[in-house]
Amino acid sequence: MTKPKIRAANTASKQLILAAESSTFSDGKASGVAYTGGSFTQDWSGSPVYLDLDTLTIAAQIPIMYNHIYSPEFRLGVARVTNEGHQLSFTGELDAEKPLAAGIIKEGKKTPWQVSIGADAGDTEEIFAGNTAVVNGRTVTGPALICHNRVLREISTVALGANLNTHMEIAAKYTKAGQDVPQTQENVMNEELKRYILAKYKLGEVDEKAILAHLTSVKSSIKAEETELRKLDTPAPTEYGKTQVQASANVDIDALVQAALAKKNTENMQRVASIQAAFGSDFPELKAQAVIENWSVADSNTALLKAMREARPVMPSFSIAGSNTTAGETIKAATMLTAGIRPETVIASTSEASVDLAQKRFRSGCGPKRLILEAALLNGFTGHVIDGSNWHEATDMAIHAQFSNVSLTGILADVYNKRMLEGFTHVDQAWRKIAKRTPVNDFKQINSYRLNMSGGFEKVGPDGELKHASLSDESYSNQAETFGKIIGLTRKNIIDDDMGALNSVPFGFGRLAGNSFNKWFWTEFLDNAAFFSSANNNIKTSATALSVTGIDEAKALFYAITAADGDETGIEPAILLTSRGLETLATQLYKDTQLGVVGVGSAKAVAPVSNPHAGKFEPVATNYLSNSKISGSSPTAYYLLADPLDCPAIEAVFLDGRETPFVESSAAQFNTLGILYRAYLDWGVKKQDPKAGVKMSV
């Protein structure tokens, strides 16, 4: 069997993070080449990686972020990226009015920042060793990976990017002896700086060319050495963007260098001692890497924790009835079942195997405390129980999911979403039967137009000429707005293992959302004095109560409505809307083919009486029609309405067509103990065409 030259690689979910090839940064404005089209490295690939520019999509708006942290407070500005076919170039500007951006601009006047770009997941193609492919106008020889169909999402300022040679520079000035002196250029050094470098690296007496060559070999630069030199005199801050350095007629450069080296040596010894104490005799190769590569103590501890997590036994994939399930799916299934979500819904969200295993492993349920403990253990937590002393550590590790794909907020969001949906759909749904439901793309007012055609068909004369119909339109407006609330899983819920926090609370929250929409919808519908009016010829006051005769009168009134030219509308009544008190009678008028009695008193007898309205007008009942808290309500009034797909009396619009609430989660703010969830829904409700129905006011 011949080995293929290329194949699809299992790295499609990997995000690309790469340093810009070249960039400059001055007074908050950045520009440069984001990508030259060549190879780069990624920590998840042992082969060179190429980004296919032909299939690259550039997002409509490219934000400048801080350190690839995708949160609004870390958004610094906006960039413009241009795909030139063989490379990507960019320009951008930081918003100096934002505190974080202002701080970066200020700090960048002293120390260069680097630029890194981030691209979303897509398809990845593997080029085997010895084989070739063409990408970005160049021939690539394997082994290599080519990333197709990626989406460029953001540009970040970082202290240390994917490429040490990439940086953003903010032009800096420093003041010495009371005079402004321009910062030294890239390959120019003054005598003081030259003496400092010679002493620091013990180079003896060599020329500037040899000094530059040595700095290149140790991955340093004139600019970096000058920055180190300026730090030795303990500068005092003065006005924005400048640093006051005390001058001395006879500065002992050698002494300054030796003092600085001694300080750094002490700090390094403390760093190594801390790493040694943390690792002990475990993971000697990783410990050596941490020491040699100058990792910080915090980074070393993080790497150690990850290694410990990967080395210890973890929950395997369980095979049940020929299917596989993971620890995350099992925990998720157990939590959903504990929350009271229907098993068929849980199976659809996870798998049948996950539900089977969850029922066996979590026989007593999986409440908030158990859920957090399980998620935390999969992410490096070493405790065995959660109590008041460690709940924050456990919750934090469960939320951030550093070493697994099991995220507490992800599981809880799924549980809350589904349980809220059940609560939302358990409330009165009558509005869905009478309203036209329309998706909208934004929060701007929309106008719907109903086209009216008058004149009718006319007999064609001997000349064969057809007459033009007369067209006019009627417009109706609507607009979506946002409605929502915040709910919290508190520290008390977690420690008390409150099952209601997963079950009744989100269900009740969903019911609250549904009731809120209903109140908004029916308040709009019942505010109809100007809609159902004598001017519109669609209301009958002192009408006959709901009955065969009452419906006869409603039909007559409905068919009496005319189009703008006085002709028939052609619209048919289809829905009988009543209060709950009239629901039984409305159902009988719809379903029963025979009803009624003949005679009174001793002479009464059951006799067949035909129901002329059987099967004609679908009954829709709601308690809101008799809700005395809503203006315009009446327990005895009833409405005959057209099918909303034909001619709507009322319309409900939803942003992007989403008719159920969104649920999003995050760790709570510092002054709140727990996890916060926000639920929101974007809707708008407005009455539409008066020709769509009649009101019988009894």
Query: Does residue 377 contact residue 503 with C-beta atoms inside 8 Å?
Result: no
Rounded CA-CA distance 103/339 in Å is 46
CA 395 to chain centre: 21
pLDDT on residue 243: 33
Phi/psi at 647 (nearest 5 deg)?
-150, 105
CA 471 to chain centre: 45
Residues of the chain with pLDDT under 50: 1-5, 12-13, 160-185, 234-251, 312-323, 402-404, 606-608, 670-671
Burial string for 284-299 (b: 16+ CB within 10 Å, else e) reads eebbeebbeeebebee
Long-range contacts of 216-223 (CB under 8 A, 24+ apart): 219/164, 221/186, 222/184, 222/185, 222/186, 222/187, 222/188, 222/189, 222/193, 223/112, 223/183, 223/184, 223/186
Rounded CA-CA distance 238/479 in Å is 54
Residue with tokens 């002494």: 255
CA 426 to chain centre: 27
H helical segments located in 51-153: 99-108
Rounded CA-CA distance 173/239 in Å is 11
pLDDT on residue 242: 34
Half-sphere exposure of 518 (CA within 13 A, CB side): 20
Query: Does residue 328 contact residue 316 with C-beta atoms inside 8 Å?
Result: no
3-state SS, residue 498: coil
Residues in CB range of 4: below 8 A, 6 or more apart: 128
pLDDT on residue 194: 81
The 8-class DSSP code of residue 190 comes to -
Residues in CB range of 35: below 8 A, 6 or more apart: 18, 20, 21, 51, 53, 87, 88, 117
Q: Which two tokens stand for residue 237?
A: 């801050």
The 8-class DSSP code of residue 372 comes to H
CA 444 to chain centre: 22
pLDDT on residue 580: 96
Query: Does residue 114 contact residue 19 with C-beta atoms inside 8 Å?
Result: yes
pLDDT on residue 462: 78
What's the predicted TM-score (pTM) here? 0.48
DSSP letter string, 267-298:
HHHHHHHHHHHHHTTS-HHHHHHHHHTT--HH
pLDDT on residue 262: 54
Query: Does residue 507 contact residue 611 with C-beta atoms inside 8 Å?
Result: no
In 3D space, the residue among 385, 329, 391 whose CA is nearest the CA of residue 356 turns out to be 329
pLDDT on residue 527: 96
Residue with tokens 């519908």: 525
pLDDT on residue 235: 41
Query: Does residue 687 contact residue 524 with C-beta atoms inside 8 Å?
Result: yes
